[in-house]
Chain A
Amino acid sequence: GAVVSQHPSRVICKSGTSVKIECRSLDFQATTMFWYRQFPKQSLMLMATSNEGSKATYEQGVEKDKFLINHASLTLSTLTVTSAHPEDSSFYICSARGGSGVYTGELFFGEGSRLTVL
């Protein structure tokens, strides 16, 4: 399957600072990537769809000015949590579909990034 790499895997920051998380497709090009958020013992909640070369599409209730998404190339999408607060502490996971050209549907996920805001 396609490989998606996410960095950093863990980050601890002070309240009010900004944190950037990178998501890379290693062996394929991804015109679309998806950012999910997961609270403990809960499911993955879609935050936004990241489109290469255009603005991200945010789900209802997700603040686009707080969660900045940039998809500047076909292999890299970044999520920046701006002015982070303790309630932003969560597990953030990115995903993309493989680039074989044949639709099979499945998403391939990065390893996730655990954000802790003190």
Chain B
Amino acid sequence: EDQVTQSPEALRLQEGESSSLNCSYTVSGLRGLFWYRQDPGKGPEFLFTLYSAGEEKEKERLKATLTKKESFLHITAPKPEDSATYLCAVQANGNNDMRFGAGTRLTVKP
């Protein structure tokens, strides 16, 4: 069965303090790994899709990387507005849906 494990569960950073969030996964043939941002009381907002090991994608202060077992979401010099829950999800080959991890709640203090 496909599994997605995110760590840490919660992360508190000072503004400007860079860090990384981890997403470990097991899947029977990866079709795609996805990162989302979710604000309280809102639906998830799409950030990145990664398809194969070695792939990297960047958007503003965020950079996502992928290996055969895990993905990292690197946050460089975060700002308070980056505070949110970051969700990781995987889609397996032959499947139409996604399986989500429990998320990492990020708080960035000014």
Contact = CB atoms under 8 A, between A and B. Distances in A.
Binding between chains A and B: yes
B43 A46 contact: no
A114 B102 contact: no
Interface string A21-60: 0000000000010101000011111100100000000000
A78 interface: no
Contact of B43 (A32, A45, A104, A111): A111
A43 B101 contact: yes
B44, B87, B89, B91: most-surrounded residue (chain A CB, <10 A): B44
A43 B43 contact: no
Is the interface on chain A under 10, 10 to 19, 20 to 34, or 35 or more residues?
Answer: 20 to 34
A111 B42 contact: yes
Interface string B40-58: 0111111001010000000
Interface in A68-95: 91, 93, 95
Contact of B97 (A34, A93, A104): A34
Nearest to B9: A41
B97 A44 contact: no
A34 B46 CA distance: 15
A108 B47 CA distance: 10
Contact of A43 (B34, B45, B103): B103
B41 A112 contact: yes
B100 interface: yes
Given A44-B87, A49-B97, A114 B49 contact: no
A46 B99 contact: yes
B34 A6 contact: no
Contact of A106 (B34, B41, B99): B34
Interface of A: 1, 4, 6, 32, 34, 36, 41-46, 49, 91, 93, 95, 104-112, 114
22 contacts: A4-B43, A6-B43, A32-B96, A42-B102, A43-B100, A43-B101, A46-B97, A46-B99, A49-B96, A49-B97, A91-B41, A105-B51, A106-B32, A106-B34, A106-B46, A107-B46, A109-B44, A109-B46, A110-B43, A111-B43, A112-B42, A112-B43
